[in-house]
Structure 1
Amino acid sequence: MKARPWLRGLACSLIMLTVPGWANEIEDDLIITPPPAAAPAADETSDSAAPPETADPAAPPVAAEADAEAGPAASPPVEQETASVNEMGPFRFLDTDVMPGTTRRLSWVASESFLGISVPTPVLVAHGTRPGPVLCLTAAVHGDELNGIEMVRRVLYGLEADELAGTVVGVPIVNLFGFRRSSRYLPDRRDLNRYFPGNAHGSSASRIAHAFFEGIIRHCDALVDVHTGSFHRTNLPQLRADLDHPAVLDLTQGFGAIAVLQSEGPPGTLRGAATQAGIPAVTLEAGEPMRFQPEEVAQGVKGIRSLLNHMKMLSRISLWGEPQPVYYESDWVRADSGGILFSRVGLGDRVKKGDVLGTVTDPITNTRIEVISTVRGQVLGMALNQVVIPGFAAYHIGIEKSRDEVAEEAATADELTPENEAPDADVEEAPSPPPVEAPEPPPEPLPETDERPD
């Protein structure tokens, strides 16, 4: 009778040992576990981890305490390397995934064109293997400006995508309509670079500009828009940029020794619209229209590659022989008589006030009139030798003045100018009239005096 209580207790113990989970409960009581908030991360994030009640109880207490002390920074090195590699995923662009370390040729199609048909525009994309910005290069917004086409081609096909950080998007021929016709304009005789950022319900030019701006430019972090001179003019390789924007100023500093001219992006231009949208943009001017010029192309390509290095997208270094000149003011020197222009200076020459820049000779009377520089500076642009009329803009001079000097002179001019009068505008840089949205009748080509070098 005395043994019955002992036997009864032994039987109960054997029964409890057979209950599922009982042994785990005993072991959990023996292990010093952290508070619920500090539960192991594997139980929370891993899809393959077992529920807490069936988790492996054999983890030693010392390991648990070490994990708690180490915190989140104590993740294994292998996991850190995997995360950095997976950080650079495909670049989604124009409904296509461009994989890291690859270069693709895509097509952009405007939603609606002047002719009512779709014209695919080639777009080159180089997507790197490391995180970085998206830089966009555009050319031939005016269809007769050929130097930029070659610049974009050389830069994009010269990239090794597996060495690139970020992405480079290149559109060699934006105005494919004008390019096919060897024309500066669209088929409706409108200048595409007067309609950005465009209007989805406006004229043909506005619709094309809107589709391009939304489909391409909005996906980029910076823009370089390449142009040339217009209508028998040529430009020294130079940047047009609004230096009042810090991000734009930083962009210009990556181009090496290429000259920079302070210029607000006029309304309607691609550069102005991009900067207004928060995308720092510059215009790279180089050479003349209707020609491929190897020297100008090579200098532009060198500047863009220097920019890629400045933006930490490439590690290559381009060496320049002289510092970057910056001009906060410029002036056009005009011919005062009609005849044939013969220049005595070239692009990049430095001139003083009173220097003879060229002569205009009347072919009938043999009268020769000298074109005299009215300022001191550098020749940034000039007309090619041709027949000119009085008032023709012949030489574009970057004036060597500091920014403070320009601001002080502007303030003085504002005080001296009557309220009901406006100072003479530089018609080459002045904004064009507002675009005419009515499809009929189409406007005539813009006259020479209404052209902006952008």
Structure 2
Amino acid sequence: MSNKPFVLLGKVIPLGKRTVLDLEVAKLHTRTTVKVPIIIERSNNPGPVVLLLAGIHGDETNGVGIIREIINLKINKPKTGTIICIPVFNIFGYLIQTREFPDGRDLNRMFPGSAGGSLASQFAYQFTKEIAPIVDYVIDFHTGGGDRDNIAQIRCSKEDEKALELAKVFNPPMIVFSENITKSLRDTLHKMGKTVLLFEGGKSKELSPTIINEGVNGTKNVLIRLGLIEGDITVKATPVFVHKAKWIRSSDSGMFKIRVANGSFVKKREVLGVIQDPFGEFKKKIYAPFDCHIFCINKTPIVNKGDALFHVSVEE
């Protein structure tokens, strides 16, 4: 263990105490300062630093709900090491329930950021410079965008053995193999040598008790495995591994009626949904093109031809 003081945002974080800091992002045009609260729980004993982060997209409230519940249950109070919670990262988007930053940019495509770039880029840069270097592990909580509803899942790269091991410990219903996206938070942290789990669950602008429960239980499992908290790891079932995926798209425009449950396994030619017109004259069934697991459903009531409707596994 290093004898160097634990410093975050220019403040020395004491042992064995809860510390709340504010990451100052910018001022609104009314001159009101916008601050992102950062909750640090540091034990008296040495150990890894884990960051739990949600709301990088401001309308993805399930992740905010997960971290809120983790704090409420005091799961973030470690016996060893340090747990940092950032329940609402994109505070701008959260305030008005939009995905983007006020400059219209997706914050999760702006890392590592720039000191002289756009507002989103400057914010990403501040995080990359001030917070990212001191953490060892990160769980980044997301939901589906818009009306896309994700089954609870962890996304990680096949080649990232440490992340894959922790993904199994998290024990979500599904583990989806996906490569890091350039300029995303996950890609930047991975390049810095950090171990990152990306949780996806539910859809934007909702607080799903099922998804929140999955996120809380999985995080608890990871914190137990890393030795930060005490307890027994809970294993509900073996996760389904999605090695390759494909979107099933709408063949027509119309009203969309879903006929299958998210997370289910379907056989080839099974009816997944129906597209129909509002006048009772047109009805088109959507069939499974092959045997597959469904891990995301677009729950929008009206679809256009070509819209992505079901994200499914391509079984090998």
Q: TM-score range by the shorter chain?
A: over 0.9
Query: Which 10-residue stretch deviates more, 330-339 or 270-279?
Result: 270-279
Query: What is the aligned counterpart of 1:126 among 41, 62, 65?
Result: 41
- Cα deviation, residue 94, structure 1: 2.1
Compute the TM-score of the two structures, normalised by the length of structure 2: 0.93
- Name 1:318's counterpart in structure 2: 233
Q: Indicate the residue corresponding to 1:207 in structure 2.
A: 122
CA contact (8 A) 1:156 1:168 kept: no
CA shift for structure 1 position 118: 3.8
Q: Distance in 2 between matches of 1:181 and 1:133?
A: 35
Mapped partners of 1:235, 1:191: distance in 2: 19
Matches within 5 A, 1:46-445: 91-110=6-25, 118-159=33-74, 163-364=78-279, 366-401=281-316
Measure, in 1, the Cα distance between the counterparts of 2:165 and 2:259. 36
CA offset digits 1:140-191 (Å, max 9, x no partner): 1111010111111222343367752111111111110111111111112111
Helix, strand or coil at the partner of 2:48: strand
Q: What SS does the corresponding residue of 2:145 show, helix, strand or coil?
A: coil
Matches within 5 A, 1:8-23: none
Q: Tell me the percent identity.
A: 28
Tell me the SS of whatever aligns to 2:47. strand
- Call closer, same or farther: CA 1:365–1:157 in 2, change over 3 Å: closer
Computing the radius of gyration from Cα coordinates, the structure with the larger value is 1
1:142 and 1:184 in contact (8 A); partners too: yes
Matched ranges for 1:32-43 at <5 A:
none
Which structure shows the bigger proportion of residues in strand conformation? Answer: 2
**Residues 218 and 117 (structure 1), Cα distance of their counterparts in 2 relative to 1, 3 Å cut:** farther
Give aligned pairs, total.
Answer: 315
Query: Could you say if the C-alpha distance between residues 195 and 357 of structure 1 is closer, same or farther in structure 2, counting changes exceeding 3 Å?
Result: same
Aligned-pair distance for 1:100?
2.3
- Does the C-alpha gap of structure 1 residues 96 and 188 become closer, same or farther in structure 2, counting only changes over 3 Å? same
Shift of 1:381: 0.5
Letter in 1 for 2:200: E
Q: Aligned pair in 2 of structure 1 residues 378, 392: CA closer, same or farther (>3 Å)?
A: same
Q: Secondary structure at the match of 1:284?
A: strand
Cα distance in 1 for partners of 2:290, 2:115 equals 45
Higher helix proportion: 1
Equivalent pair of 1:341/1:361 in contact (CA under 8 Å)? yes
In structure 1, what is the Cα distance between the partners aligned to 2:28 and 2:194? Answer: 28
- Displacement, 1:245? 1.7
* Separation in 1, partners of 2:107, 2:149: 20
Residue 371 of structure 1: how far off its partner (Å): 1.1
Deviation of the 1:315 alpha carbon: 2.0
- The answer to whether the 8 Å contact 1:342/1:385 transfers is no
**Equivalent residues of 1:152, 1:170 under 8 A apart:** yes
TM-superposition CA deviations, 1:227-281 (whole Å, max 9, x none): 1111111100101111212222223122024411000111121112111221121
Counterpart AA for 1:202: G
- Normalising by structure 1, report the TM-score: 0.66
Question: Gaps (5+ residues) in structure 2?
Answer: none
Specify every segment of 5 or more residues in structure 1 that has no aligned partner in the other structure, as ranges: 1-83, 402-454
Shift of 1:374: 1.8
